[in-house]
Structure 1
Amino acid sequence: MNTTTRFPSSRRAVLAAIATAAIGAAIPAGAFAQAAYPNKPVTIVVPFAAGGTTDILARIIAQALTVEMGQSVIVDNRAGAGGNIGGALAAKAPADGYTLFMGTVGTHAINAALYKKMPFDPVKDFAPLTRVANVPNLLVANPAQPYKSVKELIAYAKAHPGKVNFGSSGNGSSIHLSGELFKSLAKVDMVHVPYKGSAPAVTDLLGNQIGIMFDNMPSAIQHVRSGKLVPIAVTTAKRSPELPNVPTIAEAGVPGYEATSWFGMFAPTGTPAPVLAKLNGALVKVLGQADVKKKINEQGAETYSETPEQFAAFIKTESVKWGKVVHESGASLD
């Protein structure tokens, strides 16, 4: 005998709705948000002005992530205080995966040693996702200077202590500290001349008001290609594919020298682990795409991706290295 109770379709719909509501009540609301992430636009805070290397890289990544994640990824430039203004803003944002931060060697490995007061803690306030790119600095000289190689520069600097001036985009910048590291390892006395940005420093270098500069590759390479500046060496451990005939500083006479301007993506600490995993996976995927690699390589940069744990370990090593350089240079900012 069939004892199955049959309910009208309307009653079955009501019971189904009640069951669904009961299941929903048993699952934390955050779980739904994580499963659906992202369901609204994501913002990448860039702590420097539009048009610079950090901004250029962030926009390339944002465009690719928009396609990969199915939501608009927007770049928000918040420049000032060597990246600290943008860093503080991102650190205090809701930890929900909708605010990311394009950090640099400055914001996460230099500033803590350079500034007497920091508006955020680069380790405690951020969850590393992955490095995005490594950018070489390029040691360049005005053609009128009497040195065309690292060995010639060292010999000249030792014969004329305090007579070689090197410009930078400002105190504590990676460009400045690349020079300080060179001074320390090569044991030479050179004079640092800080500028309010890379562009005015390059202008004076082109005018032979300063002799050399350890400039970011993207802003120096055009003048090298035009013959207006002499490429002496790159600051990275490996030669740049964009300038394969230019040696590294280490192989040209300063063993152990390596200085890389790097850029990486972060989320505020407390962002749910599933969201962090989804972001890391999306970033690694887009950084492996041929068109993204091409766009980044054209800037004189090299794409890079890794696990959050690898990135965190790298930052720790970089902080120790650059902290020592800052201390030895005597640089300090309020």
Structure 2
Amino acid sequence: MSVFNKNAAALLACIPLALPLAAQAQGYPQRPVTLVVPFVAGGAFDVVARLAAERLRTELGQQFIVENKPGAGGTLGGRIVSQARPDGYTILLSGVGPISISPAVYKNLGYDPAKALAPVVQLTSSPFVLATSQAFPGSTVPEFIQFLNDKPGAYNYASTGNGTLVHLAGEYFRHSAEVQFEHIPYAGGSQTALALLNGEATFSITNIPNVLPQIQAGKLKALATTGARRPSALPDLPTMTEAGVKDFEFSGWIGIFAPAGTPEDVITTLNSAFNKAMSDPGMRERLQQQGDEVATGTVAQFKQFVAESDAKWKAVATQAQVSID
């Protein structure tokens, strides 16, 4: 066989390996898509996934099947998707905790989300709220900072666990406002709210739904929210920036990821479909009820957003020396 024929045969042998992904990218999706949620059914992530899945079926003409894969603080689901075939038929709905926080605080995460997953689109933004117990006599953030400074280290901060976004939010506040306090980790949002109610902890910077009923009932005080804009759930509260804490801005967020190597046209198709799904007025209203604001955009915008999120929380974890084996 000539050299030319040998090269041609080698080239032809490679074509069958390339064809499946290329063929599937054309006219995607041609069969049901699995949407992995790395948390238990019924939570905020699961609600967003199932609402979006209903609308994606209409947009793309295929079922989007939600599969809950909880474990390892939300990183198990991400690891599963990172190992899936990069064809767009297994995708991930995840957020700041598993994507940006866990790599910043865990020494042995087992995989690198920044390398193993491809950002597709942001879905939501969820500002937090600075909530205090009734032990704080004032009503503003400057008064609260003075309250903490009057007795450095005397007051307790409640988080939803070591290495969580609520934990790092407290450390971010410690550094930004130059205050001191003791951190107490609890097992979740309901326990955090209870600690504030019974006086075990003085304050927390936590997810709005965790404390909204108690705030509305006048049992806890809300001083400010943490996003760039005031959320619809608490429109009368200032943001932390408006309240005078410079360089203090963050939100929880949820977005869609695909395995690294997924064809760009598949990612673009998913981005467009999720953008349309999230623009539904009923979807927006339902998400606002649980403290989420719809936040969508292009693939490029989400890539940049995730990179900035990773860098931000890595810096906070390093500054606070938060590290978990």
Q: In the alignment, what sits opposite 1:225?
A: 216
Pair 1:93-2:84 in alignment: yes
User: Are 1:166 and 1:192, in contact at CA under 8 Å, matched by a contact in 2?
Assistant: yes
Deviations 1:181-235 (A, max 9, x none): 1110110001111112212111221222111111111222222122222111101
Counterpart amino acid of 2:46?
A: D
- Partner of residue 311, structure 2: 320
Quick check: 1:258 aligned with 2:249? yes
Distance 2:214 2:56 in 1: 32
- Contact kept? 1:164, 1:191, Cα under 8 Å: yes
SS at 1:124's partner residue?
helix
Choose which of 295, 304, 320 in structure 2 pairs with 1:304.
295
**CA displacement at 1:96 relative to structure 2:** 1.4
| 1:61 pairs with 2:45 | no
Secondary structure of 1:139's aligned partner = strand
Q: Note if 1:46 corresponds to 2:34.
A: no
RMSD of the alignment, in Å? 1.7
Structure 1: runs of 5+ lacking an equivalent: 1-24
Indicate if the aligned counterparts of 1:53 and 1:218 stay in contact, CA closer than 8 A. Answer: no
* C-alpha deviation, 1:29, in angstroms: 4.2
Q: Could you tell me which of 99, 110, 120 is aligned with 2:111?
A: 120
* Alignment partner of 1:195 out of 166, 186, 198: 186
- Distance in 1, matches of 2:310 and 2:246, equals 20
Q: What aligned pairs does 1:49-198 form with structure 2 within 5 A after superposition?
A: 49-198=40-189
Match for 1:115: what amino acid? Y
Identity of aligned residues (%): 38
Q: Distance in 2 between matches of 1:216 and 1:107?
A: 16
Per-residue CA distance 1:79-114 (angstroms, 9 max, x = gap): 222221111111111111111111211222221110
Compute the TM-score of the two structures, normalised by the length of structure 2.
0.90
Q: Is the 8 A contact 2:153 2:180 kept in 1?
A: yes
1:25-64 alpha-carbon deviations (Å, 9 max, x no partner) = 9x93444322242232212111122232222222221222
TM-score with structure 1 length normalisation? 0.88
- Map of 1:14 onto structure 2: none
Native 8 Å contact 2:21 2:87 kept in 1? no
Q: Which residue matches 2:7? A: none
Cα distance in 1 for residues equivalent to 2:271 and 2:284: 17
Question: Which residue type is aligned with residue 116 of structure 1?
Answer: K
Q: Give the Cα separation in 1 of the matches to 2:159 and 2:275.
A: 32
Task: Return the index of the structure with the highest Cα Rg.
Answer: 1
Give the Cα separation in 2 of the matches to 1:330 and 1:50: 33
Letter in 1 for 2:224: A
Per-residue CA deviation, residues 7-32 of structure 1 (Å, 9 max, x unaligned), is xxxxxxxxxxxxxxxxxx9x934443
Q: Does residue 246 of the first structure (1) align with residue 227 of the second (2)?
A: no
Q: Is residue 64–residue 292 contact of structure 1 (8 Å, CA) maintained in 2?
A: no
Range moving further from structure 2, 143-152 or 290-299: 143-152
Structure 2 unpaired stretches of 5+: 1-15
Contact 2:125 2:295 in 1 (8 A): yes
Is the 8 Å Cα contact of residues 139 and 212 (structure 1) preserved in structure 2? yes
Amino acid at match of 2:176: L
